[in-house]
A = this chain, B = another copy of it.
Amino acid sequence: MLARIRRAAEAAGVQILDFEADPDHNRSVLTLAGDAEPLLSAVQRTMTVAVDTIDLTRHQGTHPRIGAVDVVPFVPLDDTPMEEAVALAHRLGAWAGTQLGLPVFFYEAAALHADRRNLADVRRGQFEGLAVRLGKHPPDVGPAAPHPLAGAVAIGARRPLIAFNVYLTTDDLAIARAVARAVRASSGGLPGVKALAMDTRRSRGQVQVSMNLVDYPTTPLPIVLERVRAESRARGTDVASTELVGLMPAQAVEDVMQHYIALQDFRWHRVLEAALREGDWDERG
């Protein structure tokens, strides 16, 4: 099935940047890059295959989700204005509502309602709670009832984020919950940090704090990791290992070099492999 989804994403002018499957989360992340029109077409074909092949009534996983295609974020790169990403999100939503029969929630910069800006709010009640929820509040576009097997979809536009998971050296889920609560912005933790405890005991024998760093210029990755470490140690446990979901911006590598190596002048094109692909030094300035 994952191979079919990947093939559906292949299109002229679209790059497959990354494709990962997490068995605990029971969730795959596909990262595509391209110009607006080929990108929209590749996403449409991918969504069509996912809706045709994934049955959410039989799906279990530790990560919250509302549909076979849980979420589609458009991220403007380089000089692309956010408005273009918002316009693509709205075009994709209109298509998904009419062609796939999916209720669509627009979130973050693409949100039409203030209480749907935050993806965590959009996911509340998950797939299983959709019918009741849609009965009270209609979606932004698409039918007012969930697709029977594929649920609904959140479509958004946002800046890049870092999806970063930390495993703790404990199987005590209450500790992961307490650490997540201590670091996340919504309960008074670090600005731009979203955090959830995940039960990854079956596969790892350890619990996980799963995070999105949505404002890593304000709260860089090393600050988040060291706070998680301190909060874990205060509860008698520690950081076991970490993992990255999807891709990390070069800014995060620079932040790590600055924080741990005290390397003042590091920029990512100081990496040989990057410099070889970046063109001449004097054009980089």
**Which A residues have a C-beta under 8 Å from some C-beta of B?**
6, 15-19, 31, 33, 77, 160, 221-222, 225, 239-244, 247-250, 252-253, 256-257, 260-266, 268, 270-282
Contact = CB atoms under 8 A, between A and B. Distances in A.
Contacts of A241: 262-264
A272 B253 contact: no
Contacts of A19: 281-282
A221 B266 CA distance: 14
Given A18-B275, A31-B275, 17 more contacts: A16-B281, A16-B282, A17-B272, A17-B276, A222-B261, A242-B262, A243-B264, A244-B265, A248-B266, A248-B271, A249-B273, A252-B271, A253-B253, A253-B271, A256-B257, A256-B261, A277-B278
A242 B257 CA distance: 10
A268 B273 contact: yes
A15 B273 contact: no
Q: Chain copies in the assembly? A: 2
Contacts of A276: 15, 17, 33, 77
A199 to B, nearest CB: 20
A153 to B, nearest CB: 23
A282 B242 contact: no
